[in-house]
Amino acid sequence: MVGSASTIAIAAAVAGLATATPVRTKVGTFSVPQVKNPGFKPHGPAQLAKAYLKYGVKLPEGLAKTVSDLKILRRDSGSAKTTPEENDIQYLTPVSIGTPAQTLNLDFDSGSSDLWVFSTELPAGSVNGQTQYDASKSSTAKKLSGASWDISYGDGSSSSGDVYTDTVTVGGVTFKSQAVEAAKQVSDQFQTDSNNDGLLGLAFSSINTVTPTAQKTFFDNIASSLDTAAWTADLKYHEAGTYDFGVIDSSKYTGDITYTDVDSSQGFWSFTATSASVGSGRNNTVLKASGFSGIADTGTTLALFPDSVVTAYYKQVTGAKLDNTQGGYVFPCTTTPPDFTFGVEDATITIPGKYINYAPVDESGSSCFGGIQTDEGIGFSIFGDVALKAAFVVFDNSKGTPRLGWAAKSS
């Protein structure tokens, strides 16, 4: 979520997948660019809170108070407060829904499996500038009788609604009977991000939350029509990147792609990293020589790693300290953190230190929040955007069993 605050919890319905109308023509490949969220103002504690809530972890007392005091998780008189710490995501992707097309900017989230949107079925007080899907204005919308969705959040709030099938187009590729989950109720955390109109999940369909029958993701619905049943993330540092479907664009990476097996049993793109170290090349110091499991999650901004790894890393960062009020490690903004390197099979991926200097936590701009924080309480590590931006990443389901590919970026 990106990202997006307090998103989908990991518990979900795993009933048989719904049968959808097949794509009748081979579409081959397509690419979709991200667009910059004009309201984005990075705030590390808010992004950490978002990640914890997404995976059902109770916020530490200091972090909970910080986000509450900043009014990131509140509304005032029916409208979201605009603060320098607005809790939203940096990049969104345009998606067309319905006939005629209604364009909504969605967060592509490999950590969830629902395509849900703000809709005209929401109370007026729950909408804060978001574009709303109006099923009544789409000639191709069909209500899925008896279907509903109800997503629970780690802070006890939830979002829910009913379900339609409708024409959905991403990057020029259309699926005519995609499940579109229309929100009738959304939590305050989503209301505060006026530019984000919903999520498009890219995890595995087994954790889609529609009941009584789970629905397929957009990718699973179109996979058989692609040249290759794979999609790639080429996320960028401080600029919009691209998602490609059906093609592995050789111009976007250098050297070889290193593939590693994915455990999809929990519905996520889960894999085992082989090591972690601080620095790169001959100047690196091993932080963890054995493997640790994690998921590749485009919907989470920060990278969350084992507590022992994070503690050892920040011992190498000048002026770093654990700030319980902010909920994580901070350091002077003038500090350039060392690189962080993790292993994938026999390859290494290096997160540049500048990525780890995420954003100031105070108005003076003197103290900055680390882009790497602890995964304590989650049960696995989260390779969010801070990590994914360091590589060209392939989400591949073309070989019968899923796998993740990692390669050095071409630029």
272, 279 Cβ separation under 8 angstroms: no
> In sequence order, what E strands does 130-288 have?
142-152, 158-170, 173-185, 198-201, 230-234, 242-245, 253-261, 270-273, 276-278, 285-288
Closest CA to 341 of 359, 355, 329: 355
Residue 74 makes CB contacts below 8 A (sequence gap 6+) with 68, 81, 188
Place of tokens 């629970």: 152
Q: Does residue 109 carry a catalytic annotation?
A: yes
67, 73 Cβ separation under 8 angstroms: yes
65, 325 Cβ separation under 8 angstroms: yes
Catalytic residue (choose from 114, 188, 297, 385): 297
SS3 of residue 356 by DSSP: helix
DSSP of 85-108: T----SEEEEEEETTTTEEEEEEE
Share of the chain residues as helix, strand and coil, in percent rounded to the nearest 5: 15, 35, 45
123, 188 Cβ separation under 8 angstroms: no
Catalytic residue (choose from 107, 109, 220, 396): 109
Q: Does residue 188 carry a catalytic annotation?
A: no
Q: Which two tokens stand for residue 202?
A: 């890219």
Q: How far apart are CA 135 and CA 104, in angstroms?
A: 13
Task: Give CA angle at 4 (218, 365), nearest 5°.
Answer: 145
Q: Which residues are catalytic?
A: 109, 297
